[in-house]
Structure 1
Amino acid sequence: MLAPVIALGAATNAGGAPRIEAAVPAPDAAPIAFLVDVSSGQILMEREADRRFVPASITKVMTLYLAFELIEARKLQLAQTFTVRPETFKEWHNKGSRMFVPKDARISVDDLLMGIAAVSANDGSIILAEGAAGSVDGWVALMNRKARDLGMNNSHFGTPNGWMDEGRTFTTARDLTTLARAIITRHPSKYARYFGREGFKYNNIAQANHDPMIGVVDGADGLKTGFTNEAGYGFLGSAKRNGRRLIMVIAASERPQFRNKAARELIEWGFSAHDIKPLFYKGNEVGFAEVQDGASDRVALLAPGTINATFPAGAPRNVKLTIHYEGPLQAPVAKGERIAELEIQVDGLPPSRVPLMTADDVPKAGTFQRLYNGIAGLIS
């Protein structure tokens, strides 16, 4: 999708800090680029969104997501500690980015998650995998199961940390956005605790976070950079302003400065070149779905939360709304089921879909009700 470059103003802001230009990055700087407005679900910009690439350390976002899921299921605890295996220390104590876990150390899950999220700890990822799942292979199997559950159909993980594995680990920008959205929306408190930190100190060694937006872009709060020789430079990032969140992917950049500049410009363009408008608030009735063999022949569909639409700034706010479901629904229907989707079509942007939920229980019809429904159907 082509989009204009929008300048935000002078070269510096009132405080003297450099002002970030808002622009869609050029293809040579960001061969893969993807930007989604989570508040509406709409895609604002996409380039090679389904092209497979090696995520490198961005893989660790899936390791963190899996850990968060296990903690939520009470299969893993933050205070739980794992002992570093001698073999693990020997292989990973001096390999790539790390948190410098000492030999034979006992380390908590909380510290491991901090090290993985803030300083991209390769050693921490392996220690967590072995401690929580018994082996790296066992952990990787769980990672891939979670990817399938999320619908990341163009992704596969071969390691917990994204270390080079001859291409067995791959993903797409679209899939990474799905992962980021899941970790942010399903685990908001854990996301806020572990992501967005400027650095982390462990074993008396302080290290900085390599995130190109933290402390530079207003509202930036994660997620993860990645680099290997085979992958180039990539970044999965997010920022939130005034209740509105954007998620972006930049990948296959040749140099870190290309990636960093592209990420900052794209996120600013996403905020400045688009406006958002609420269509329905939580609990608003959006429409109806037909019900077969039920005590009622239809059920109201409600917005489970605020449903927004994103519009190109200054463009007419033309929007087409369509409800999709596989129907008629078969009774019984339970209240709160998410059995329908609202498609939002805005001129100039790809369509997006958001879930709708049923407003009431619809029990199965009794004998006389079914007879009445049948006669009513013949008459109508």
Structure 2
Amino acid sequence: MTRFAAFLLILSLTITARVVAITPAPPALGADGYILMDYQSGHVIAENNADNPLPPASLTKMMTSYVVSAELAAGNIQLTDMVTVSENAWAKNFPESSKMFIEVNKQVSVEDLLKGLIISSGGDASVALAEHIAGSEDAFAQLMNMHAQKLGMTNTHFVNAHGLTADGHQTTARDMAILARALIKDYPQEYELYKLKEFTYNNIRQYNRNSLLWDRSLEVDGVKTGHTEAAGYCLVSSAVKDGMRLIAVVMGTSSEDARKIESKKLLTYGFRFFETVSPLTANSQVHQARVWGGEVEQATLGVLEQTYLTIPRGKRQQLKANYVVENELEAPLAKGQVVGQIFFELEGEEVAKVPMVALEDVAEGGWFSRMIDAISRWFSELFS
């Protein structure tokens, strides 16, 4: 394995003064579990008990809406589909839960049910959508768990679509942050519903329970509240500032005000003391390396996707990178094939690494060029 010389990524062209950047420890929160994640990089800025299984309450409906969005994207259902409300989905079955007040045997569009699910946090809407998609809530829960597994939510298991307390129905703060990130990335059109502050159905106006949507000091545009006696007061929130998006999850706080206050602490801390930088753009070339037996002698190496890093604010000019080609390259090479790693360092410590890949296909050369390359390689190894 050959390590090449480090190259400096110049991320700031002008430094007018030498400033010592200080990053304090994250705030301590009154919550059973919490996490603060950078949406772009996936970097965790702060966490505590983030992998402890906890009851999710209505945070469950984030996965319910994710599955609905996936079914819409696949063309299996349409927003205009009319759903006949069953007795299982009747609002009267949820006396202690939030609901959108749908009535048995009435028909409601998928679009209205999705709004009732997300904005009004309707347990009745959850069941109606689950039955429409999978035939039963039990079958729908299996879909939820399949999507959770695919997203890497390793400590999550769903039993129902609404989040009322049930044996084995659990998740973690980290898994909820993973889900929120997937919601925003995979289904941005449906995610737009999460910032709506009110929804009227059946002449009943209901307001979004995420009170951070009204906080003028933060640009919060989601995500979801939850509360049961077992779960306490929970909130997944996301906000954007100066192009940086953060996701905060607090679970098991003591009140509605507490979940708002603790979430705001996390978001404010993240925006104040950290920033998201993008040192490498999509299709960015990092290195050219000799490739043996190919139509061309040099393979262009780099990254195919935008690279995002989360670093303490004020330290971007100190960011450096090393790259490593893991083995000698031999044709054929496929575009996107991993051939090494790029290591990012800050003040001598590794802060991230990303795969270095071939940026284009390199086909095998003809028999004559391969023979010449074999001879050249033999001499190269002989005298190295």
**TM tier relative to shorter chain:** 0.7 to 0.9
Distance 1:331 1:51 in 2: 47
- Does the aligned pair in 2 maintain the 1:304–1:355 contact within 8 Å? no
- Does the aligned pair in 1 maintain the 2:275–2:311 contact within 8 Å? yes
Q: Match for residue 199 of structure 1?
A: 198
- Does the aligned pair in 1 maintain the 2:91–2:103 contact within 8 Å? no
Structure 2 counterpart of 1:201, one-letter code: T
Distance 1:69 1:282 in 2: 26
Q: Match for residue 14 of structure 1?
A: none
- Does the aligned pair in 1 maintain the 2:219–2:239 contact within 8 Å? yes
Q: Identity of paired residues, percent?
A: 33
Q: Match for residue 4 of structure 1?
A: 24
Structure 2 counterpart of 1:54, one-letter code: P
Listed as ranges, the gaps of 5+ residues in structure 1 are 6-23
Structure 1 counterpart of 2:98, one-letter code: S
SS in 1 for 2:191: helix
Structure 2 counterpart of 1:187, one-letter code: Y
Distance 2:261 2:283 in 1: 41
With over 3 angstroms needed to count, the CA separation of the structure-2 counterparts of 1:363 and 1:95, relative to structure 1, is farther
SS in 2 for 1:119: coil
1:158 and 2:159 correspond? yes
1:190 and 2:190 correspond? yes
With over 3 angstroms needed to count, the CA separation of the structure-2 counterparts of 1:245 and 1:26, relative to structure 1, is same
How far the C-alpha of 1:63 sits from its partner, in A, is 1.0
1:206-285 map, 5 Å: 206-216=205-215, 217-285=217-285
With over 3 angstroms needed to count, the CA separation of the structure-2 counterparts of 1:199 and 1:324, relative to structure 1, is farther
Listed as ranges, the gaps of 5+ residues in structure 2 are 1-21
With over 3 angstroms needed to count, the CA separation of the structure-2 counterparts of 1:155 and 1:198, relative to structure 1, is same
Q: Match for residue 34 of structure 1?
A: 35
Distance 1:213 1:240 in 2: 13
SS in 2 for 1:165: coil
1:35-62 per-position Cα deviation (integer Å, ceiling 9, x unaligned): 1122333221121222221111111111
With over 3 angstroms needed to count, the CA separation of the structure-2 counterparts of 1:311 and 1:135, relative to structure 1, is same
Q: Match for residue 83 of structure 2?
A: 82
Structure 1 counterpart of 2:284, one-letter code: N
Q: Match for residue 16 of structure 1?
A: none
How far the C-alpha of 1:200 sits from its partner, in A, is 1.1
With over 3 angstroms needed to count, the CA separation of the structure-2 counterparts of 1:256 and 1:334, relative to structure 1, is same
Structure 2 counterpart of 1:67, one-letter code: V
SS in 1 for 2:156: coil
Q: Which moved more, 1:265-274 or 1:328-337?
A: 328-337
Q: Match for residue 13 of structure 1?
A: none
SS in 1 for 2:99: coil
SS in 2 for 1:214: helix
With over 3 angstroms needed to count, the CA separation of the structure-2 counterparts of 1:134 and 1:271, relative to structure 1, is same
- Does the aligned pair in 1 maintain the 2:23–2:312 contact within 8 Å? no
Distance 1:3 1:113 in 2: 41
Structure 1 counterpart of 2:161, one-letter code: P
- Does the aligned pair in 2 maintain the 1:304–1:356 contact within 8 Å? no
SS in 1 for 2:59: helix
1:28-107 map, 5 Å: 29-89=30-90, 92-107=93-108
Distance 1:60 1:289 in 2: 49
Structure 2 counterpart of 1:207, one-letter code: Q
With over 3 angstroms needed to count, the CA separation of the structure-2 counterparts of 1:345 and 1:33, relative to structure 1, is farther
How far the C-alpha of 1:328 sits from its partner, in A, is 7.1
Q: Which moved more, 1:323-332 or 1:172-181?
A: 323-332
- Does the aligned pair in 2 maintain the 1:299–1:362 contact within 8 Å? no
Q: Match for residue 3 of structure 2?
A: none
SS in 2 for 1:170: coil
SS in 2 for 1:218: coil
Q: Match for residue 170 of structure 1?
A: 170
How far the C-alpha of 1:205 sits from its partner, in A, is 0.6
Structure 1 counterpart of 2:201, one-letter code: Y
Distance 2:156 2:325 in 1: 27
Q: Which of the pair has more CA radius of gyration?
A: 2
How far the C-alpha of 1:346 sits from its partner, in A, is 4.1
Distance 2:73 2:348 in 1: 40
Distance 1:56 1:327 in 2: 50
Distance 2:340 2:113 in 1: 40
- Does the aligned pair in 2 maintain the 1:338–1:357 contact within 8 Å? yes
With over 3 angstroms needed to count, the CA separation of the structure-2 counterparts of 1:202 and 1:316, relative to structure 1, is closer
SS in 1 for 2:150: helix
Q: Which moved more, 1:30-39 or 1:256-265?
A: 30-39
Q: Match for residue 181 of structure 1?
A: 181
Distance 1:92 1:328 in 2: 65
Distance 2:263 2:365 in 1: 56
SS in 1 for 2:90: helix
Task: Give the aligned length.
Answer: 357
- Does the aligned pair in 1 maintain the 2:292–2:373 contact within 8 Å? no
- Does the aligned pair in 1 maintain the 2:23–2:273 contact within 8 Å? no
RMSD: 3.1
